[in-house]
């Protein structure tokens, strides 16, 4: 029922602007962890307050005009590792994960497993974290809004071809907004094109690039025509994924520094091993060779496809 409901909801939502006033329950069910072990001192209350504030911001805001019942909310988690606090400037690393159920099973598939090494922001305990469309308040509110839309966009893309486009466009608008305001140099990291090809700017630039449409279509087929079909026919579902997976190699070869392919494999590497370790010899060889060609750093993981 969850997949059926969300698929219908997305068919409606793509006809509507994300700027419409939201009408129903919030979309996210996010668990936040703030790790302050690297920070000396006994006063940890500010970190507990920050955790609560972020959770409330992500879970209590309404980000779209879609209808989500409580059990249909997108499950996600955020781990914030605080490396240093300089006055009120928090220097952090953030890991974001999201997932969605696979039709006909109790399994949830990872959609995002994303690490932001420059999750830096100015914050004082009890600061209000509020987001207003097209208005910059703080870097923290902007980054959180960006990731909320990124989560929703990936979820939508997994249910409908290019269904996440309105939400990725919202991410793009946040990037543009943040590029145009003055902030601390450490906070600015992640929003600009020149300081890294593996940051918030690079990811959304990839996702909205026309040349990566094939990848996003594959992302849909992987979930709806592959995973969601496997409970009925695992062989056919696996074959559909194997048929589409060369798109990853095509995108990688055209642009070896493509960030979106890295983020896909960060989320899906173990799942691909689980899927194709049960495949035919031909599927195992094809998928293994392709993954090693574009992601050789994970050889120990991919070796498990062949039982090694």
pLDDT tens readout for residues 5-18: 455 445 444 433 33
Domain boundary residue among 96, 122, 148?
148
Look at residue 22 in the predicted model and tell me its pLDDT. Answer: 38
Alpha-carbon gap, residue 176 to 302, rounded angstroms? 38
Are 102 and 238 found together in one domain?
no
Alpha-carbon gap, residue 34 to 51, rounded angstroms? 6
Alpha-carbon gap, residue 28 to 150, rounded angstroms? 12
Tell me if 136 is assigned to some domain: yes
Tokens found for residue 306: 């062949």
90 alpha-carbon distance from chain centroid:
22
Are 105 and 239 found together in one domain?
no
Q: Per-residue pLDDT tens for 142-175?
A: 999 999 999 999 999 999 999 999 999 999 999 9
Tell me if 121 is assigned to some domain: yes
Q: Nearest 5 degrees, angle CA 3-CA 247-CA 102? A: 20
Tell me if 292 is assigned to some domain: yes
Look at residue 255 in the predicted model and tell me its pLDDT. Answer: 76
**Shortest CA distance to 146 belongs to which of 128, 113, 169?**
169
Are 33 and 143 found together in one domain?
yes
3-state helix, strand, coil in the chain (%, to 5): 55, 15, 30
Tell me if 157 is assigned to some domain: no
* Number of domains forming the structure of the chain: 2
Are 14 and 134 found together in one domain?
yes
Look at residue 19 in the predicted model and tell me its pLDDT. Answer: 36
Are 142 and 219 found together in one domain?
no
Tell me if 178 is assigned to some domain: no
Torsion of CA 264, 268, 269, 272, to 10 degrees: -130
Are 219 and 141 found together in one domain?
no
Are 20 and 132 found together in one domain?
yes
Residue 189 backbone phi and psi in degrees, to 5: -60, 135
Look at residue 79 in the predicted model and tell me its pLDDT. Answer: 98
Tell me if 52 is assigned to some domain: yes
Cβ contact 227:159 at 8 Å: no
Alpha-carbon gap, residue 139 to 135, rounded angstroms? 11
Look at residue 8 in the predicted model and tell me its pLDDT. Answer: 47
Are 123 and 233 found together in one domain?
no
Look at residue 13 in the predicted model and tell me its pLDDT. Answer: 44
Q: Which domain holds residue 283?
A: 213-306
Tell me if 296 is assigned to some domain: yes
Alpha-carbon gap, residue 225 to 217, rounded angstroms? 11
Sign of the four-CA dihedral 171, 173, 179, 181: negative
Are 238 and 107 found together in one domain?
no
Are 10 and 126 found together in one domain?
yes
Domain boundary residue among 99, 132, 148?
148
Look at residue 173 in the predicted model and tell me its pLDDT. Answer: 96
Are 138 and 236 found together in one domain?
no
Residue 188 backbone phi and psi in degrees, to 5: -70, -25
**Residue ranges in the chain whose pLDDT is less than 70:** 1-25, 42, 256-257
Tell me if 115 is assigned to some domain: yes
Domain boundary residue among 148, 177, 196?
148
Are 139 and 65 found together in one domain?
yes
Rama region for 155: left / alpha / beta (φ>0; ψ in -120 to 50; rest) = alpha
Look at residue 257 in the predicted model and tell me its pLDDT. Answer: 67
């Amino acid at each position: 029922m969850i997949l059926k409901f969300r698929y219908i909801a997305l068919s409606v939502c793509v006809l509507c602007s994300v700027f419409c006033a939201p009408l129903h329950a919030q979309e996210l069910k996010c668990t936040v962890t703030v790790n302050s072990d690297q920070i000396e001192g006994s006063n940890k209350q500010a970190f507990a307050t920050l955790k609560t504030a972020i959770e409330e911001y992500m879970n209590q805001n309404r980000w779209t005009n879609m209808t989500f019942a409580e059990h249909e909310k997108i499950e996600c988690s955020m781990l914030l590792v605080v490396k240093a606090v300089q006055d009120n400037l928090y220097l952090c690393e953030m890991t974001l994960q999201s997932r969605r159920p696979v039709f006909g099973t109790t399994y949830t598939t990872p959609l995002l497993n994303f690490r932001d090494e420059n999750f830096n922001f100015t914050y004082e305990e009890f600061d209000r974290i509020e987001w207003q469309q097209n208005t910059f308040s703080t870097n923290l509110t902007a980054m959180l809004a960006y990731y909320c839309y990124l989560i929703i966009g990936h979820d939508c893309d997994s249910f409908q071809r290019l269904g996440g486009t309105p939400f990725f466009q919202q991410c793009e608008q946040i990037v543009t907004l943040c590029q145009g305001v003055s902030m601390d140099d450490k906070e600015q990291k992640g929003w600009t094109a020149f300081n890294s090809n593996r940051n918030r700017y690079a990811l959304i630039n990839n996702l909205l690039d026309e040349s990566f449409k094939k990848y996003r279509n594959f992302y849909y087929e992987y979930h709806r025509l592959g995973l969601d079909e496997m409970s009925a026919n695992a062989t056919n579902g696996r074959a559909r994924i194997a048929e589409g997976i060369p798109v990853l190699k095509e995108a990688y070869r055209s642009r070896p520094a493509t960030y979106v392919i890295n983020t896909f494999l960060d989320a899906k590497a173990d799942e691909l091993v689980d899927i194709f370790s049960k495949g035919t010899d031909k599927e195992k060889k094809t998928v293994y060779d392709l993954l090693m060609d574009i992601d050789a750093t994970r050889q120990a993981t991919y070796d498990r496809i062949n039982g090694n």
